[in-house]
């Protein structure tokens, strides 16, 4: 079964028959074609596919397929809604959302996607509709508190620590991973708590290592306390009296600071902070895979377990 095709089919059918006008349907469709989304041809990871494969491993009832596909589609819409808010909060002006919409329309679009996701949960769930909706709201609440904290999680003279970073990541990002497991009605399996945490840590580390080097992201300009920058600042304080902090404080003080940004990024790479985060990302992914394999040992058909692991490791 081609998970991506199944999820795309569900979303296309839903968009076609939704109450949205043609302009809104086109806008949502275009966003679902963006980087990391289900209609993007080369996306290495999408939340919808992840939901689908998780359900395949942890749910053995054969009549669950239609709901499994619907759940994956709903997850795509939920994450799109949270991504829009995340980009607005970060001020990623070059994002496809913020570059084409006013802040008012951006906020309204996110709210609309969120409400539509709640509606779909109630419509498409065969059982325990309120239980699923409750778990989604609970995890989104946790993530939103983390998002609020993230707004002030910046590099200053007293930079946050690595443990501070992981505490915020667990609140802001891992809660969305937990949402996927709970959306698929996985019960009485304590192992998935750690699997969700390790996959969440791994993905956030990988994203932060990439985003600190990208002009399309505001991580560097905003001096966001992501782990690559935290480790680079720690290195700088030990080796050159905190010269990196002085350079960071110069960002935004001139009309064109592209050369300064490049020098800072070169420095960050030379400290080994990027490599450290990528290695740590792999360590956490390996921990998750080890737990998934152990869980799969008791299953008669191990093909779904292999499919999930292959998907995570590609």
- pLDDT of res. 103: 84
- Whether the per-residue pLDDT at 188 is higher than 70: the answer is no
Structure tokens at 233: 């600042």
Q: Are residues 187 and 59 in the same domain?
A: no
CATH at residue 238: 1.10.600.10
Q: Are residues 245 and 163 in the same domain?
A: yes
What is the mean pLDDT of the segment spanning 193-202?
96
- Whether the per-residue pLDDT at 54 is higher than 80: the answer is yes
Residue 136 belongs to domain spanning: 129-298
Q: Are residues 4 and 152 in the same domain?
A: no
Q: Are residues 47 and 72 in the same domain?
A: yes
Q: Are residues 214 and 314 in the same domain?
A: no
Q: How many domains does the chain have?
A: 2
Chain length of the chain: 314
- Whether the per-residue pLDDT at 224 is higher than 90: the answer is yes
Q: Are residues 147 and 259 in the same domain?
A: yes
Half-sphere CA count of 93, side-chain side, radius 13 A? 3
What is the mean pLDDT of the segment spanning 11-20?
93
Q: Are residues 260 and 222 in the same domain?
A: yes
Q: Are residues 150 and 278 in the same domain?
A: yes
Q: Are residues 102 and 71 in the same domain?
A: yes
pLDDT per position as a tens digit, 101-118: 888 998 999 999 999 999
Q: Are residues 226 and 152 in the same domain?
A: yes
Confidence class for position 300, pLDDT limits 50, 70, 90: confident
- Whether the per-residue pLDDT at 89 is higher than 90: the answer is no
Q: Are residues 285 and 153 in the same domain?
A: yes
- Whether the per-residue pLDDT at 185 is higher than 70: the answer is no
- pLDDT of res. 93: 61
- pLDDT of res. 74: 96
Q: Are residues 37 and 148 in the same domain?
A: no
């Amino acid at each position: 079964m081609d998970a991506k095709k199944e999820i795309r089919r569900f979303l296309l059918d839903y968009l076609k028959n939704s109450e949205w006008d043609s302009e809104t349907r086109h806008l949502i469709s275009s966003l679902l074609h963006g980087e990391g989304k289900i209609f993007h041809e080369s996306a290495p990871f999408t939340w919808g596919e992840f939901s689908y494969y998780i359900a395949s491993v942890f749910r053995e009832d054969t009549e669950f397929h239609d709901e499994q596909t619907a759940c994956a589609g709903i997850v795509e819409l939920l994450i799109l809604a949270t991504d829009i808010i995340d980009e607005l909060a970060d001020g990623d002006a070059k994002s496809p959302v913020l570059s084409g919409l006013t802040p008012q329309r951006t906020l309204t679009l996110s709210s609309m996607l969120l409400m539509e996701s709640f509606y779909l949960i109630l419509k498409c769930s065969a059982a325990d509709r309120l239980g699923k909706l409750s778990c989604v709201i609970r995890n989104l609440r946790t993530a939103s508190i983390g998002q609020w904290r993230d707004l002030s999680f910046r590099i200053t003279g007293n930079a946050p620590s690595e443990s501070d970073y992981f505490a915020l990541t667990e609140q802001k990002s891992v809660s969305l991973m937990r949402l996927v497991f709970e959306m698929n009605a996985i019960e009485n399996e304590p192992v998935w708590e750690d699997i969700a945490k390790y996959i969440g840590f791994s993905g956030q580390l990988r994203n932060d290592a990439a985003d600190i080097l990208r002009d399309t992201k505001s991580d560097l300009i905003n001096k966001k306390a992501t782990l690559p920058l935290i480790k680079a600042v720690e290195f700088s304080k030990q080796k050159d009296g905190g010269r990196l902090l002085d350079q960071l404080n110069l960002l935004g003080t001139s009309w064109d600071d592209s050369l300064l940004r490049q020098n800072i990024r070169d420095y960050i790479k030379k400290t080994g902070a990027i490599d450290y985060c990528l290695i740590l990302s792999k360590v956490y992914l390996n921990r998750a895979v080890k737990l998934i394999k152990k869980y799969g040992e008791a299953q008669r058909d191990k093909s779904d377990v292999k499919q999930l692991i292959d998907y995570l490791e590609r």
